[in-house]
Structures are given as structure tokens and as C-alpha cells.
Amino acid sequence: MANIMYWEAIQRAHDEEMARDPLVICMGEDIGVAGGTYKATKGLYEKYGPLRVMDTPISEGGFTGLGIGASFLGVRPVIEIMSVNFAWLAMDQMFNSAAKVRYMSGGQLTAPCVFRSAGGAAHQLGAQHSARMEKVFMGIAGLRVVTPSNPKQAYGLLKSAIRCDDPVFINEHELMYNMKGEVPDGEYFHPLEGSEVTRSGTDVTLFGYNISVHWCLKAAEILDKQYGISAEVIDLYSLSPLDRAGIKASVSKTHRAVIAEEDEAPVGVGAEVIALINEECFFELDAAPVRVHSALVPQPYNHTLEKAAIPDHEDVVKAVLKMFGKA
């Protein structure tokens, strides 16, 4: 096990896959000569050259479509959208071309491409650089959506996404690139479907994904130490498809659910997980499931307002205490 950063894990996955298969390429803004805004492609340009590590013009719709077109002929492009906010400009190609081509061609063509993007609110980046957009991607037929919460997942999910024949959107987080964690020394493929029990518990299930897994873990610690509540933490690294069986199993055990998401609440992961709980195990519930989420505002620049807009572990603790009648 190597203790490496999230960006190093992503870089390693790129490097291994590019060394293995000459048709694996990567493309995006500043990913080559400049080494990538978050260093996720550092050193690859020097190693694999400009034909396979493509510094693109700032044309998200254009270069995303170009990568998708190349994938029709078996090229496996890893397309970096520097910030998920810019993905709006590429969504026509992602949704109308990549996600639908297999279906509308009756299985003749497929788009085995990977879209990687840094999402999430960082520090005072304002309304147009702070979007959380996983909820937009997870409702699209033909597109897989995964979101790594640690370096091991970042490495293993990218490896699996490159090998998979389906288009995969990988939702990363601006604040997590320097997070350290254990990554296996040998080659490792993280499953593209499912969920992980990150912490086992009996009284309530805290569902998180990406950065909110860490709020849930911190909250579980506090709930255990200060309030004697045993919380289970489930990491929903796959947002599309969601792990129906895993969600059902945990809620059937704990009978209570809190979903923590950095996205705004209307139409999102929380809403979808609660719908699944209703469908799968409504009569197992001892309390109405609760969402912890951001305020429905364009992200404010002001530090205090920004903090007020986004939840953290304290909000998860509060939600659980309220559910148990302790707040």
C-alpha cells in the first residue's frame, strides 16, 4: 500500500492505462505542457507526446464531441473538464451523442469514453465556479456516474472507467486533490457499481458520496462518542446506477436514514435515495428519512455566506439528533 494523494492516484491510473493501450488518450485544457490544473495528468505529455496528451483549446463542447467521435472507433479518451461548471457547454455532446449513440444505433456504436471533472464548492470561487452537478448527470440513460471519496477509489474507478465500454462521468472534488490515502501497490479495479460500508453501525445510516462521506464519518464519530448513537456510513461512490440492494440492506438494519449531499436539495441524490428507500423498505423505517444539503442559491462569494450555504458534519449531527428527539 502506498500512501498517496488523490491527484497522484488519478495520474497513476492514467499512466498505467496509457502504457498498456496506445488507444488510451487524454485531452483537456492545460493537461499537457502545463501538467493539469490539479496535476492529475502530470508528466504524461513528456512521456506520451502531444498526439495522445492533447492540450485542447477552451472549447468544451467541441473537444468533448471530438473525444466522443474518436471513441466510436475504439479510442478510449479520458476527457478532463477542468471545472464541472464548464460541463454545461459539453453536455449536448455528452448526453445527446455519447449517452445515446449505443441505443439509437441499435447497439452498433458505443462511446467508451471517460469524462473527469472537478466539482464541488472550493473557497470563495463564486457562483460560476462552485457548482455541484452530479444530480444533472445521474438521470441520463446510457451514462454511468461515479464519484470517488478517496485516493483508492479515484485510482480504481478511473481504471475501471477506462476499460468499461460505456461512457462514464467521474465527479471529482476541487478540495480533495491533495487528500492522502492508501492505494494498493498492484493494479486495482474499483467496481463501477455498488456502495461501500465505510463504518458499521446499528442506529442510523448516514449516506454520503465524495466529500460528504467525510462529513458523515466525522459526524458518526461525534454521535458515537458524545451521544451514544451508533451510525453506519455508506459511501455511494456509484450515483448511476445507485446501489438499490445496498441501500435497502442498511436501512433495513438501522431503520433510519440521513442523506448528506453538497448539492442543493431539489432534485438530487438525497431525493433519489429517499425514493429508493420508500420503494424498497418503507415499512422498515422508524423515522422519516432526512436530507442534509446546500441552500438553493447561486454560490455566494462572501466567506460567511458561502459557509452558510454549504452543510458540513455539524449539520449531519444536528439532523440525526433531531431525528432521535435530542435536539
Dist. CA 145–CA 115, nearest whole Å = 9
Please work out the total of residues on this chain that contact other proteins, with binding judged by CB under 8 A: 55
Task: Report the residue number, 56 or 147, with the smaller CB distance to other proteins.
Answer: 56
Question: Is 32 a residue that touches other proteins (CB under 8 A)?
Answer: no
Dist. CA 303–CA 29, nearest whole Å = 28
Q: Would you mind telling me the total number of residues written for the chain in this entry?
A: 327
**Of 187-195, 220-228, 259-267, 312-320, which segment contacts other proteins by CB under 8 A?**
187-195
Task: Report the residue number, 162 or 269, with the smaller CB distance to other proteins.
Answer: 162
Dist. CA 122–CA 133, nearest whole Å = 14
Dist. CA 80–CA 87, nearest whole Å = 10
Work out which of 16, 21, 61, 88 binds other proteins, going by CB under 8 A: 61
Task: Report the residue number, 103 or 282, with the smaller CB distance to other proteins.
Answer: 103
Dist. CA 101–CA 112, nearest whole Å = 11
**Of 41-49, 154-162, 223-231, 254-262, which segment contacts other proteins by CB under 8 A?**
154-162
Indicate if 129 belongs to the active site.
yes
Work out which of 16, 124, 180, 189 binds other proteins, going by CB under 8 A: 189
Say which of 29, 60, 172, 262 is annotated catalytic.
Answer: 60
Work out which of 19, 127, 128, 165 binds other proteins, going by CB under 8 A: 165
Q: Could you tell me if 188 and 218 are in contact, meaning their C-beta atoms sit under 8 angstroms apart?
A: no
3-state secondary structure 239-265: EECCCHHHHHHHHHHHCCEEEEEEEEC
Work out which of 173, 190, 291, 293 binds other proteins, going by CB under 8 A: 190
Question: Is 109 a residue that touches other proteins (CB under 8 A)?
Answer: yes
| Among 208, 256, 212, CA closest to 230 | 256
Question: Is 97 a residue that touches other proteins (CB under 8 A)?
Answer: yes
| Among 91, 298, 81, 75, CA closest to 171 | 81
Cell of 228: 451514544
Applying CB under 8 A, the residues found at the interface with other proteins are 22-23, 25, 51-52, 54, 56-57, 59, 61-75, 92-93, 96-97, 101-110, 141-142, 144, 156, 160-161, 163-166, 187, 189-194
